[in-house]
Structure 1
Amino acid sequence: MRIAVAGGSGKLGRTVVRELRAGGDDVVSLDVVGERGPGFVRVDLTDFGQTLDAILGVDDRHTGFDAIVHLATIPAPGILSDVATFHNNIRATYNVFQAARRAGIRNIVYASSETVLGLPFDVPPPYIPVDEDYAARPESTYSLVKHLEEQMAIELVRWDPSLKIVALRFSNVMDPSDYAEFPSFDDDARARKWNLWGYIDARDGAQAVKRALDWDATGFDRFIIAAADTVMTRPNAELVAEVFPGVPLKGELGVNDTLLSIDKARRLLGYAPAHSWRD
Protein backbone atom coordinates (compact mmCIF):
# COMPACT_ATOMS: atom_id res chain seq x y z
CA MET A 1 0.00 0.00 0.00
CA ARG A 2 0.89 3.66 -0.30
CA ILE A 3 0.67 4.83 3.30
CA ALA A 4 1.02 8.21 4.98
CA VAL A 5 2.28 8.04 8.56
CA ALA A 6 1.38 11.28 10.30
CA GLY A 7 3.87 11.69 13.11
CA GLY A 8 6.38 9.36 11.51
CA SER A 9 9.30 10.98 13.34
CA GLY A 10 8.04 10.14 16.84
CA LYS A 11 9.12 7.26 19.06
CA LEU A 12 6.47 4.86 17.78
CA GLY A 13 6.29 6.53 14.36
CA ARG A 14 9.92 5.82 13.50
CA THR A 15 9.45 2.11 14.13
CA VAL A 16 6.13 1.99 12.28
CA VAL A 17 7.67 3.66 9.22
CA ARG A 18 10.64 1.28 9.28
CA GLU A 19 8.56 -1.88 9.72
CA LEU A 20 5.97 -0.94 7.08
CA ARG A 21 8.74 -0.25 4.58
CA ALA A 22 10.43 -3.54 5.46
CA GLY A 23 7.13 -5.27 4.66
CA GLY A 24 7.03 -3.73 1.18
CA ASP A 25 4.72 -0.76 1.70
CA ASP A 26 5.45 2.65 0.16
CA VAL A 27 5.53 4.99 3.15
CA VAL A 28 5.77 8.76 3.47
CA SER A 29 6.19 10.37 6.88
CA LEU A 30 4.26 13.60 7.49
CA ASP A 31 5.61 15.52 10.47
CA VAL A 32 6.91 18.89 11.63
CA VAL A 33 10.37 17.40 12.19
CA GLY A 34 12.35 14.83 10.24
CA GLU A 35 15.24 14.25 7.86
CA ARG A 36 14.88 15.66 4.38
CA GLY A 37 14.41 12.94 1.77
CA PRO A 38 11.94 11.20 -0.53
CA GLY A 39 10.13 9.54 2.37
CA PHE A 40 9.47 12.71 4.38
CA VAL A 41 7.27 15.78 3.94
CA ARG A 42 7.34 18.58 6.51
CA VAL A 43 3.73 19.37 7.45
CA ASP A 44 2.08 21.27 10.27
CA LEU A 45 -0.88 18.96 10.87
CA THR A 46 -2.70 21.60 12.92
CA ASP A 47 -3.09 23.52 9.63
CA PHE A 48 -5.89 21.93 7.60
CA GLY A 49 -4.75 23.39 4.29
CA GLN A 50 -1.26 21.92 4.66
CA THR A 51 -2.66 18.59 5.84
CA LEU A 52 -5.13 18.21 2.97
CA ASP A 53 -2.60 19.32 0.37
CA ALA A 54 0.07 16.93 1.65
CA ILE A 55 -2.36 14.00 1.67
CA LEU A 56 -3.64 14.72 -1.83
CA GLY A 57 -0.13 14.87 -3.29
CA VAL A 58 3.26 16.59 -3.17
CA ASP A 59 5.42 17.34 -6.21
CA ASP A 60 8.34 14.91 -6.53
CA ARG A 61 7.12 12.91 -3.54
CA HIS A 62 3.76 11.20 -4.07
CA THR A 63 0.36 11.48 -5.77
CA GLY A 64 -1.87 10.32 -2.93
CA PHE A 65 -2.32 7.45 -0.48
CA ASP A 66 -4.30 4.26 0.02
CA ALA A 67 -4.27 4.52 3.82
CA ILE A 68 -3.43 6.87 6.68
CA VAL A 69 -1.71 6.01 9.97
CA HIS A 70 -2.14 8.91 12.40
CA LEU A 71 0.39 8.93 15.25
CA ALA A 72 1.01 12.68 15.45
CA THR A 73 0.29 13.97 18.93
CA ILE A 74 1.65 15.61 22.02
CA PRO A 75 2.35 12.14 23.44
CA ALA A 76 1.53 12.48 27.14
CA PRO A 77 0.06 14.78 29.80
CA GLY A 78 2.25 17.47 31.30
CA ILE A 79 4.58 18.10 28.36
CA LEU A 80 2.78 21.31 27.37
CA SER A 81 0.05 23.25 29.12
CA ASP A 82 -3.33 21.54 29.18
CA VAL A 83 -4.88 23.95 26.70
CA ALA A 84 -1.93 23.62 24.29
CA THR A 85 -2.20 19.82 24.46
CA PHE A 86 -5.95 19.97 23.83
CA HIS A 87 -5.74 22.41 20.93
CA ASN A 88 -2.85 20.63 19.22
CA ASN A 89 -4.14 17.09 19.49
CA ILE A 90 -7.82 17.56 18.70
CA ARG A 91 -7.05 19.87 15.79
CA ALA A 92 -4.42 17.58 14.26
CA THR A 93 -6.69 14.55 14.54
CA TYR A 94 -9.69 16.29 13.03
CA ASN A 95 -7.53 17.62 10.20
CA VAL A 96 -6.09 14.19 9.40
CA PHE A 97 -9.47 12.44 9.54
CA GLN A 98 -11.21 15.11 7.48
CA ALA A 99 -8.40 15.39 4.91
CA ALA A 100 -8.43 11.61 4.48
CA ARG A 101 -12.18 11.68 3.89
CA ARG A 102 -11.87 14.54 1.37
CA ALA A 103 -9.14 12.57 -0.41
CA GLY A 104 -11.34 9.47 -0.64
CA ILE A 105 -9.19 7.39 1.73
CA ARG A 106 -11.28 4.78 3.51
CA ASN A 107 -8.57 3.11 5.64
CA ILE A 108 -7.49 5.03 8.76
CA VAL A 109 -5.58 3.64 11.73
CA TYR A 110 -4.62 5.95 14.56
CA ALA A 111 -3.12 6.09 18.04
CA SER A 112 -5.65 6.30 20.81
CA SER A 113 -4.29 5.63 24.30
CA GLU A 114 -4.43 3.37 27.32
CA THR A 115 -5.15 6.54 29.32
CA VAL A 116 -8.84 6.38 28.37
CA LEU A 117 -9.09 3.30 30.61
CA GLY A 118 -8.78 5.52 33.69
CA LEU A 119 -5.04 6.04 34.12
CA PRO A 120 -3.37 6.68 36.52
CA PHE A 121 -5.92 4.48 38.31
CA ASP A 122 -6.05 6.65 41.43
CA VAL A 123 -9.68 5.58 41.18
CA PRO A 124 -9.33 1.81 40.82
CA PRO A 125 -10.54 0.19 37.59
CA PRO A 126 -13.91 -1.59 37.64
CA TYR A 127 -12.15 -4.94 37.26
CA ILE A 128 -8.80 -6.48 36.39
CA PRO A 129 -7.61 -7.27 33.74
CA VAL A 130 -9.07 -4.17 32.09
CA ASP A 131 -10.50 -4.36 28.58
CA GLU A 132 -12.46 -2.36 26.01
CA ASP A 133 -15.88 -3.25 27.45
CA TYR A 134 -16.33 -0.46 30.00
CA ALA A 135 -16.93 3.21 29.25
CA ALA A 136 -13.97 5.56 28.89
CA ARG A 137 -12.70 7.20 32.07
CA PRO A 138 -10.50 10.15 31.02
CA GLU A 139 -8.64 11.61 34.01
CA SER A 140 -6.50 14.27 32.26
CA THR A 141 -6.81 16.75 29.41
CA TYR A 142 -4.64 14.47 27.27
CA SER A 143 -6.93 11.51 27.97
CA LEU A 144 -10.03 13.63 27.41
CA VAL A 145 -8.81 14.45 23.90
CA LYS A 146 -8.21 10.76 23.20
CA HIS A 147 -11.76 10.00 24.29
CA LEU A 148 -13.17 12.80 22.15
CA GLU A 149 -11.17 11.55 19.17
CA GLU A 150 -12.77 8.13 19.53
CA GLN A 151 -16.21 9.75 19.72
CA MET A 152 -15.42 11.80 16.61
CA ALA A 153 -14.42 8.64 14.74
CA ILE A 154 -17.70 6.98 15.74
CA GLU A 155 -19.67 9.82 14.15
CA LEU A 156 -17.53 9.97 11.00
CA VAL A 157 -18.07 6.30 10.20
CA ARG A 158 -21.78 6.76 10.90
CA TRP A 159 -21.82 9.49 8.28
CA ASP A 160 -19.87 7.31 5.86
CA PRO A 161 -20.48 3.54 6.26
CA SER A 162 -17.71 2.74 3.75
CA LEU A 163 -15.08 4.25 6.07
CA LYS A 164 -12.86 2.26 8.46
CA ILE A 165 -11.26 3.96 11.46
CA VAL A 166 -9.37 1.80 13.96
CA ALA A 167 -8.27 3.25 17.29
CA LEU A 168 -5.28 1.48 18.84
CA ARG A 169 -5.11 2.15 22.57
CA PHE A 170 -1.34 1.84 22.87
CA SER A 171 0.30 1.18 26.20
CA ASN A 172 3.53 2.93 27.23
CA VAL A 173 5.80 2.62 24.17
CA MET A 174 9.27 1.18 24.78
CA ASP A 175 12.36 0.62 22.67
CA PRO A 176 14.85 -2.15 23.55
CA SER A 177 17.19 0.51 24.94
CA ASP A 178 14.57 1.28 27.62
CA TYR A 179 14.58 -2.21 29.11
CA ALA A 180 17.68 -1.82 31.29
CA GLU A 181 15.54 0.16 33.76
CA PHE A 182 12.83 -2.47 34.14
CA PRO A 183 14.37 -4.57 36.96
CA SER A 184 14.27 -1.52 39.25
CA PHE A 185 10.47 -1.40 39.01
CA ASP A 186 10.15 -4.38 41.38
CA ASP A 187 11.29 -2.23 44.28
CA ASP A 188 7.97 -0.37 44.50
CA ALA A 189 4.72 -1.91 43.27
CA ARG A 190 3.10 1.53 43.14
CA ALA A 191 5.72 3.14 40.94
CA ARG A 192 4.16 1.61 37.81
CA LYS A 193 0.62 0.97 39.04
CA TRP A 194 -0.55 3.92 36.93
CA ASN A 195 -1.03 1.66 33.89
CA LEU A 196 -1.32 -1.71 35.62
CA TRP A 197 2.39 -2.34 35.02
CA GLY A 198 1.91 -2.38 31.24
CA TYR A 199 4.06 -1.47 28.21
CA ILE A 200 4.32 -2.10 24.47
CA ASP A 201 7.46 -2.80 22.48
CA ALA A 202 7.47 -0.36 19.55
CA ARG A 203 8.03 -3.25 17.13
CA ASP A 204 4.84 -4.93 18.34
CA GLY A 205 3.10 -1.57 18.09
CA ALA A 206 4.10 -1.50 14.42
CA GLN A 207 2.78 -5.03 14.00
CA ALA A 208 -0.58 -3.93 15.42
CA VAL A 209 -0.70 -1.00 12.99
CA LYS A 210 -0.06 -3.29 10.02
CA ARG A 211 -2.67 -5.81 11.15
CA ALA A 212 -5.21 -3.02 11.62
CA LEU A 213 -4.47 -1.66 8.15
CA ASP A 214 -4.94 -5.12 6.64
CA TRP A 215 -8.11 -5.87 8.63
CA ASP A 216 -11.02 -6.25 6.24
CA ALA A 217 -13.72 -4.23 7.97
CA THR A 218 -15.68 -1.00 7.92
CA GLY A 219 -16.87 1.20 10.74
CA PHE A 220 -15.09 2.05 13.98
CA ASP A 221 -13.45 -0.19 16.54
CA ARG A 222 -10.97 0.17 19.39
CA PHE A 223 -8.27 -2.19 20.62
CA ILE A 224 -5.93 -2.22 23.60
CA ILE A 225 -2.39 -2.83 22.31
CA ALA A 226 0.13 -3.95 24.92
CA ALA A 227 2.92 -6.46 25.39
CA ALA A 228 1.96 -9.96 26.48
CA ASP A 229 3.56 -9.45 29.89
CA THR A 230 4.00 -6.79 32.58
CA VAL A 231 7.10 -4.75 33.43
CA MET A 232 7.43 -6.66 36.73
CA THR A 233 8.97 -9.94 37.86
CA ARG A 234 6.68 -9.94 40.90
CA PRO A 235 3.56 -12.05 40.26
CA ASN A 236 0.30 -10.38 39.34
CA ALA A 237 -1.64 -11.81 42.28
CA GLU A 238 0.82 -10.20 44.71
CA LEU A 239 0.75 -6.85 42.90
CA VAL A 240 -3.04 -6.67 42.69
CA ALA A 241 -3.50 -7.71 46.32
CA GLU A 242 -1.11 -4.96 47.46
CA VAL A 243 -2.22 -2.09 45.23
CA PHE A 244 -5.81 -2.85 44.22
CA PRO A 245 -7.32 -4.94 47.03
CA GLY A 246 -11.00 -5.59 46.57
CA VAL A 247 -11.09 -4.90 42.82
CA PRO A 248 -13.02 -7.72 41.12
CA LEU A 249 -11.05 -10.08 38.92
CA LYS A 250 -12.27 -10.71 35.39
CA GLY A 251 -10.67 -13.99 34.41
CA GLU A 252 -7.26 -15.40 35.24
CA LEU A 253 -4.40 -13.04 36.06
CA GLY A 254 -1.56 -15.34 35.06
CA VAL A 255 1.84 -14.99 36.71
CA ASN A 256 3.17 -12.05 34.70
CA ASP A 257 0.55 -11.81 31.94
CA THR A 258 -0.51 -8.36 30.83
CA LEU A 259 -3.31 -6.86 32.90
CA LEU A 260 -4.24 -4.69 29.91
CA SER A 261 -6.25 -7.32 28.08
CA ILE A 262 -5.18 -7.83 24.46
CA ASP A 263 -7.65 -10.66 23.88
CA LYS A 264 -9.80 -8.61 21.50
CA ALA A 265 -6.81 -7.57 19.37
CA ARG A 266 -5.62 -11.15 19.27
CA ARG A 267 -9.05 -12.44 18.27
CA LEU A 268 -10.05 -9.88 15.63
CA LEU A 269 -6.77 -8.51 14.29
CA GLY A 270 -4.56 -11.55 14.76
CA TYR A 271 -2.24 -9.43 16.90
CA ALA A 272 0.53 -11.57 18.41
CA PRO A 273 3.17 -9.67 20.41
CA ALA A 274 6.59 -11.13 19.73
CA HIS A 275 8.86 -8.99 21.93
CA SER A 276 9.38 -8.88 25.70
CA TRP A 277 11.82 -7.07 27.96
CA ARG A 278 12.50 -10.49 29.51
CA ASP A 279 14.24 -11.57 26.32
Structure 2
Amino acid sequence: MKIAVTGGSGKLGRHVVRRLTKEGHWVLNLDRVGERSPGLVVVDLRDYGQVVDAFLGVDRRHSGFDAVVHLGAVPAPGLMSDAATFENNMLSTYNVFQAARRAGIKKVVYASSETVLGTPFDVDPPYIPVDEEYPARPETTYALVKRLEEQMAIELTRWDPELSIVGLRFSNVMDPEDYEAFPSFDADAMLRKWNLWGYIDGRDGAQAVLRALENGKPGFEAFIIASPDTVMSRSSASLAAEVYPNVKVTKDLGEHETLLSIDKARRLLGFDPEYTWRTSSPSTGTD
Protein backbone atom coordinates (compact mmCIF):
# COMPACT_ATOMS: atom_id res chain seq x y z
CA MET A 1 0.00 0.00 0.00
CA LYS A 2 0.90 3.66 -0.28
CA ILE A 3 0.59 4.95 3.28
CA ALA A 4 0.73 8.44 4.77
CA VAL A 5 2.03 8.51 8.35
CA THR A 6 1.43 11.75 10.21
CA GLY A 7 3.88 12.37 13.03
CA GLY A 8 6.32 9.87 11.58
CA SER A 9 9.24 11.72 13.19
CA GLY A 10 7.97 11.05 16.72
CA LYS A 11 8.89 8.33 19.20
CA LEU A 12 6.28 5.86 17.99
CA GLY A 13 6.20 7.25 14.46
CA ARG A 14 9.80 6.31 13.72
CA HIS A 15 9.07 2.69 14.59
CA VAL A 16 5.92 2.72 12.48
CA VAL A 17 7.63 4.15 9.40
CA ARG A 18 10.45 1.63 9.75
CA ARG A 19 8.13 -1.38 10.18
CA LEU A 20 5.74 -0.47 7.37
CA THR A 21 8.65 0.15 5.00
CA LYS A 22 10.23 -3.17 6.00
CA GLU A 23 6.94 -4.90 5.18
CA GLY A 24 7.13 -3.55 1.63
CA HIS A 25 4.73 -0.61 1.83
CA TRP A 26 5.53 2.81 0.36
CA VAL A 27 5.48 5.27 3.25
CA LEU A 28 5.55 9.07 3.37
CA ASN A 29 6.00 10.92 6.64
CA LEU A 30 3.86 14.05 7.01
CA ASP A 31 5.19 16.06 9.94
CA ARG A 32 6.17 19.56 11.03
CA VAL A 33 9.64 18.37 12.04
CA GLY A 34 12.24 15.93 10.77
CA GLU A 35 15.40 15.76 8.71
CA ARG A 36 15.05 16.69 5.07
CA SER A 37 14.70 13.47 3.08
CA PRO A 38 12.67 11.89 0.26
CA GLY A 39 10.50 10.30 2.95
CA LEU A 40 9.32 13.56 4.57
CA VAL A 41 6.89 16.26 3.52
CA VAL A 42 6.49 19.14 5.96
CA VAL A 43 2.80 19.60 6.74
CA ASP A 44 1.02 21.54 9.49
CA LEU A 45 -1.89 19.27 10.41
CA ARG A 46 -3.79 22.21 11.87
CA ASP A 47 -4.18 23.61 8.33
CA TYR A 48 -6.88 21.66 6.49
CA GLY A 49 -5.74 22.90 3.12
CA GLN A 50 -2.24 21.54 3.64
CA VAL A 51 -3.56 18.18 4.80
CA VAL A 52 -6.02 17.56 1.98
CA ASP A 53 -3.48 18.78 -0.58
CA ALA A 54 -0.81 16.44 0.78
CA PHE A 55 -3.24 13.50 0.72
CA LEU A 56 -4.20 14.16 -2.90
CA GLY A 57 -0.64 14.49 -4.20
CA VAL A 58 2.70 16.28 -3.81
CA ASP A 59 4.35 17.15 -7.15
CA ARG A 60 6.59 14.25 -8.16
CA ARG A 61 6.39 12.44 -4.82
CA HIS A 62 3.01 10.72 -5.07
CA SER A 63 -0.49 10.98 -6.49
CA GLY A 64 -2.55 9.63 -3.62
CA PHE A 65 -2.63 7.15 -0.73
CA ASP A 66 -4.34 3.87 0.05
CA ALA A 67 -4.25 4.38 3.83
CA VAL A 68 -3.46 6.92 6.54
CA VAL A 69 -1.79 6.33 9.90
CA HIS A 70 -2.42 9.36 12.10
CA LEU A 71 0.07 9.75 14.96
CA GLY A 72 0.79 13.50 14.81
CA ALA A 73 -0.28 15.23 18.04
CA VAL A 74 0.77 16.78 21.31
CA PRO A 75 1.63 13.34 22.73
CA ALA A 76 0.74 13.61 26.41
CA PRO A 77 -1.09 15.69 29.05
CA GLY A 78 0.67 18.69 30.55
CA LEU A 79 3.12 19.43 27.75
CA MET A 80 1.16 22.48 26.61
CA SER A 81 -1.68 24.49 28.07
CA ASP A 82 -5.04 22.71 28.09
CA ALA A 83 -6.49 25.02 25.45
CA ALA A 84 -3.46 24.60 23.19
CA THR A 85 -3.57 20.81 23.57
CA PHE A 86 -7.26 20.73 22.75
CA GLU A 87 -6.95 23.02 19.74
CA ASN A 88 -3.93 21.25 18.26
CA ASN A 89 -5.07 17.67 18.69
CA MET A 90 -8.78 18.05 17.99
CA LEU A 91 -8.29 20.20 14.91
CA SER A 92 -5.49 18.03 13.55
CA THR A 93 -7.51 14.84 13.87
CA TYR A 94 -10.60 16.38 12.30
CA ASN A 95 -8.49 17.62 9.40
CA VAL A 96 -6.86 14.21 8.90
CA PHE A 97 -10.14 12.26 9.08
CA GLN A 98 -12.02 14.68 6.84
CA ALA A 99 -9.19 15.04 4.33
CA ALA A 100 -8.94 11.25 4.09
CA ARG A 101 -12.64 11.06 3.32
CA ARG A 102 -12.40 13.79 0.67
CA ALA A 103 -9.44 11.98 -0.90
CA GLY A 104 -11.36 8.71 -1.07
CA ILE A 105 -9.10 6.94 1.46
CA LYS A 106 -11.09 4.20 3.19
CA LYS A 107 -8.51 2.90 5.68
CA VAL A 108 -7.42 5.01 8.66
CA VAL A 109 -5.50 3.90 11.75
CA TYR A 110 -4.77 6.44 14.46
CA ALA A 111 -3.32 6.82 17.94
CA SER A 112 -5.97 6.92 20.60
CA SER A 113 -4.71 6.50 24.17
CA GLU A 114 -4.90 4.47 27.36
CA THR A 115 -5.85 7.76 29.05
CA VAL A 116 -9.48 7.31 27.95
CA LEU A 117 -9.65 4.36 30.36
CA GLY A 118 -9.42 6.72 33.35
CA THR A 119 -5.73 7.34 33.97
CA PRO A 120 -4.26 8.34 36.38
CA PHE A 121 -6.82 6.07 38.10
CA ASP A 122 -7.21 8.30 41.15
CA VAL A 123 -10.75 6.94 40.91
CA ASP A 124 -10.64 3.16 40.99
CA PRO A 125 -11.15 1.38 37.68
CA PRO A 126 -14.39 -0.62 37.53
CA TYR A 127 -12.45 -3.91 37.39
CA ILE A 128 -9.01 -5.31 36.61
CA PRO A 129 -7.72 -6.01 34.01
CA VAL A 130 -9.33 -3.01 32.33
CA ASP A 131 -10.61 -3.48 28.79
CA GLU A 132 -12.61 -1.73 26.06
CA GLU A 133 -16.03 -2.72 27.42
CA TYR A 134 -16.70 0.02 29.97
CA PRO A 135 -17.48 3.65 28.99
CA ALA A 136 -14.55 6.01 28.47
CA ARG A 137 -13.54 8.06 31.54
CA PRO A 138 -11.27 10.92 30.43
CA GLU A 139 -9.70 12.77 33.36
CA THR A 140 -7.57 15.35 31.50
CA THR A 141 -8.01 17.64 28.51
CA TYR A 142 -5.68 15.40 26.53
CA ALA A 143 -7.82 12.35 27.33
CA LEU A 144 -11.00 14.31 26.60
CA VAL A 145 -9.76 14.99 23.07
CA LYS A 146 -8.95 11.29 22.62
CA ARG A 147 -12.51 10.45 23.65
CA LEU A 148 -13.97 13.05 21.29
CA GLU A 149 -11.81 11.70 18.46
CA GLU A 150 -13.27 8.25 19.03
CA GLN A 151 -16.79 9.64 18.96
CA MET A 152 -16.00 11.53 15.77
CA ALA A 153 -14.75 8.32 14.20
CA ILE A 154 -18.00 6.59 15.15
CA GLU A 155 -20.04 9.26 13.36
CA LEU A 156 -17.82 9.47 10.27
CA THR A 157 -17.94 5.72 9.75
CA ARG A 158 -21.72 5.86 10.18
CA TRP A 159 -21.86 8.44 7.41
CA ASP A 160 -19.58 6.31 5.21
CA PRO A 161 -20.16 2.56 5.76
CA GLU A 162 -17.11 1.67 3.64
CA LEU A 163 -14.75 3.68 5.85
CA SER A 164 -12.57 1.82 8.36
CA ILE A 165 -11.14 3.76 11.32
CA VAL A 166 -9.17 1.88 13.97
CA GLY A 167 -8.28 3.69 17.20
CA LEU A 168 -5.29 2.17 18.99
CA ARG A 169 -5.30 3.02 22.69
CA PHE A 170 -1.55 2.94 23.12
CA SER A 171 0.01 2.54 26.54
CA ASN A 172 3.14 4.50 27.49
CA VAL A 173 5.53 4.06 24.53
CA MET A 174 9.03 2.88 25.44
CA ASP A 175 12.32 2.42 23.59
CA PRO A 176 14.92 -0.14 24.74
CA GLU A 177 17.04 2.58 26.34
CA ASP A 178 14.09 3.50 28.58
CA TYR A 179 14.19 0.10 30.25
CA GLU A 180 17.20 0.98 32.38
CA ALA A 181 14.88 2.93 34.67
CA PHE A 182 12.36 0.13 35.19
CA PRO A 183 14.01 -1.55 38.22
CA SER A 184 13.67 1.74 40.12
CA PHE A 185 9.88 1.43 40.00
CA ASP A 186 9.87 -1.61 42.30
CA ALA A 187 10.48 0.32 45.51
CA ASP A 188 7.11 2.09 45.37
CA ALA A 189 4.04 0.57 43.72
CA MET A 190 2.48 4.03 43.52
CA LEU A 191 5.09 5.39 41.11
CA ARG A 192 3.50 3.72 38.10
CA LYS A 193 0.01 2.92 39.34
CA TRP A 194 -1.28 5.79 37.18
CA ASN A 195 -1.56 3.49 34.15
CA LEU A 196 -1.75 0.16 35.99
CA TRP A 197 1.99 -0.36 35.52
CA GLY A 198 1.61 -0.66 31.75
CA TYR A 199 3.78 0.20 28.75
CA ILE A 200 4.25 -0.69 25.09
CA ASP A 201 7.53 -1.28 23.32
CA GLY A 202 7.60 1.03 20.29
CA ARG A 203 8.42 -1.91 18.04
CA ASP A 204 5.27 -3.70 19.17
CA GLY A 205 3.32 -0.47 18.76
CA ALA A 206 4.40 -0.50 15.13
CA GLN A 207 3.29 -4.10 14.82
CA ALA A 208 -0.16 -3.10 16.12
CA VAL A 209 -0.42 -0.42 13.42
CA LEU A 210 0.53 -2.96 10.76
CA ARG A 211 -2.06 -5.46 12.01
CA ALA A 212 -4.74 -2.76 12.13
CA LEU A 213 -4.00 -1.83 8.52
CA GLU A 214 -4.19 -5.47 7.52
CA ASN A 215 -7.22 -6.53 9.55
CA GLY A 216 -9.29 -3.43 10.32
CA LYS A 217 -12.91 -3.74 9.18
CA PRO A 218 -15.34 -1.06 7.94
CA GLY A 219 -16.67 0.92 10.87
CA PHE A 220 -14.90 2.03 14.02
CA GLU A 221 -13.17 -0.12 16.63
CA ALA A 222 -10.92 0.80 19.55
CA PHE A 223 -8.21 -1.49 20.90
CA ILE A 224 -5.94 -1.32 23.94
CA ILE A 225 -2.33 -1.79 22.84
CA ALA A 226 0.08 -2.69 25.64
CA SER A 227 2.95 -5.03 26.33
CA PRO A 228 2.00 -8.45 27.74
CA ASP A 229 3.70 -7.72 31.06
CA THR A 230 3.97 -4.84 33.53
CA VAL A 231 6.91 -2.56 34.31
CA MET A 232 7.31 -4.24 37.71
CA SER A 233 9.22 -7.24 39.05
CA ARG A 234 6.48 -7.85 41.61
CA SER A 235 3.51 -10.00 40.72
CA SER A 236 0.51 -8.37 39.09
CA ALA A 237 -1.84 -9.91 41.65
CA SER A 238 0.09 -8.37 44.56
CA LEU A 239 0.08 -4.96 42.90
CA ALA A 240 -3.67 -5.04 42.37
CA ALA A 241 -4.28 -6.21 45.94
CA GLU A 242 -2.10 -3.49 47.49
CA VAL A 243 -3.13 -0.47 45.43
CA TYR A 244 -6.69 -1.36 44.42
CA PRO A 245 -7.98 -3.61 47.24
CA ASN A 246 -11.63 -2.80 46.53
CA VAL A 247 -11.50 -3.49 42.79
CA LYS A 248 -12.70 -6.82 41.45
CA VAL A 249 -10.06 -8.86 39.62
CA THR A 250 -11.92 -10.71 36.88
CA LYS A 251 -9.40 -13.46 36.09
CA ASP A 252 -6.46 -15.35 37.50
CA LEU A 253 -3.47 -13.18 36.66
CA GLY A 254 -0.18 -14.49 35.33
CA GLU A 255 2.90 -13.61 37.38
CA HIS A 256 3.61 -10.36 35.50
CA GLU A 257 0.53 -10.21 33.28
CA THR A 258 -0.55 -6.81 32.00
CA LEU A 259 -3.53 -5.21 33.74
CA LEU A 260 -4.37 -3.43 30.46
CA SER A 261 -6.17 -6.21 28.63
CA ILE A 262 -4.94 -6.83 25.09
CA ASP A 263 -7.27 -9.78 24.50
CA LYS A 264 -9.42 -7.90 21.98
CA ALA A 265 -6.41 -6.77 19.94
CA ARG A 266 -5.04 -10.31 19.94
CA ARG A 267 -8.39 -11.75 18.84
CA LEU A 268 -9.52 -9.28 16.19
CA LEU A 269 -6.27 -7.77 14.90
CA GLY A 270 -3.85 -10.64 15.34
CA PHE A 271 -1.69 -8.45 17.58
CA ASP A 272 1.06 -10.56 19.14
CA PRO A 273 3.63 -8.49 21.07
CA GLU A 274 7.20 -9.71 20.69
CA TYR A 275 9.23 -7.46 22.99
CA THR A 276 9.48 -7.12 26.76
CA TRP A 277 11.68 -5.02 29.00
CA ARG A 278 12.75 -8.20 30.75
CA THR A 279 14.82 -9.17 27.72
CA SER A 280 14.41 -6.23 25.28
CA SER A 281 14.45 -8.85 22.55
CA PRO A 282 11.69 -10.87 20.89
CA SER A 283 9.73 -12.91 23.43
CA THR A 284 7.84 -16.12 22.88
CA GLY A 285 4.75 -14.98 24.72
CA THR A 286 3.50 -13.55 27.99
CA ASP A 287 5.13 -14.20 31.34
In the superposition, the TM-score normalised over structure 1's length comes to 0.99
How many angstroms does 1:238 deviate by? 1.2
2:131 maps to 131
Answer yes or no: is the 8 Å Cα contact 1:113–1:169 preserved in 2. yes
Q: Aligned partners of 1:7, 1:205: CA distance in 2, in Å?
A: 14
How many residues in Structure 1 have an aligned counterpart in Structure 2?
A: 279
2:261 paired with 1:261? yes
Query: 2:197 corresponds to which letter in structure 1?
Result: W
1:61 maps to 61
Q: Aligned partners of 2:190, 2:28: CA distance in 1, in Å?
A: 40
Q: Aligned partners of 1:46, 1:103: CA distance in 2, in Å?
A: 17
After superposition, the C-alpha distances for 1:170-200 in whole angstroms (9 at most, x for unaligned) are 0000000100000111010000000000000
1:168 maps to 168
Unaligned runs of 5+ residues in structure 2 are 280-287
How many angstroms does 1:216 deviate by? 5.0
1:4 maps to 4
Query: 1:200 corresponds to which letter in structure 2?
Result: I
After superposition, the C-alpha distances for 1:63-101 in whole angstroms (9 at most, x for unaligned) are 110000000110001000000000000000000000000
1:204 maps to 204
Answer yes or no: is the 8 Å Cα contact 2:5–2:30 preserved in 1. yes
Matches within 5 A, 1:19-168: 19-168=19-168
Query: 2:193 corresponds to which letter in structure 1?
Result: K
Answer yes or no: is the 8 Å Cα contact 1:39–1:61 preserved in 2. no
After superposition, the C-alpha distances for 1:228-266 in whole angstroms (9 at most, x for unaligned) are 000000011111111101101111222100000000000
Matches within 5 A, 1:182-197: 182-197=182-197
After superposition, the C-alpha distances for 1:101-128 in whole angstroms (9 at most, x for unaligned) are 0000000000000000000000010000
Answer yes or no: is the 8 Å Cα contact 2:200–2:225 preserved in 1. yes
Q: Aligned partners of 1:71, 1:46: CA distance in 2, in Å?
A: 13
2:282 maps to none
Q: Aligned partners of 2:84, 2:97: CA distance in 1, in Å?
A: 20
**Structure 1 residue ranges (4+ consecutive) displaced by more than 3 angstroms after TM superposition:** none
How many angstroms does 1:60 deviate by? 2.1
Q: Aligned partners of 2:160, 2:268: CA distance in 1, in Å?
A: 22
How many angstroms does 1:61 deviate by? 1.3
Q: Aligned partners of 1:218, 1:78: CA distance in 2, in Å?
A: 34
Unaligned runs of 5+ residues in structure 1 are none
Q: Aligned partners of 1:84, 1:76: CA distance in 2, in Å?
A: 12
Answer yes or no: is the 8 Å Cα contact 2:15–2:203 preserved in 1. yes
Q: Aligned partners of 1:134, 1:147: CA distance in 2, in Å?
A: 13
In the superposition, the TM-score normalised over structure 2's length comes to 0.96
2:249 paired with 1:249? yes
Q: Aligned partners of 1:44, 1:59: CA distance in 2, in Å?
A: 18
Q: Secondary structure at the match of 2:177?
A: helix
Q: Aligned partners of 1:39, 1:216: CA distance in 2, in Å?
A: 25
2:244 paired with 1:218? no
How many angstroms does 1:217 deviate by? 1.4
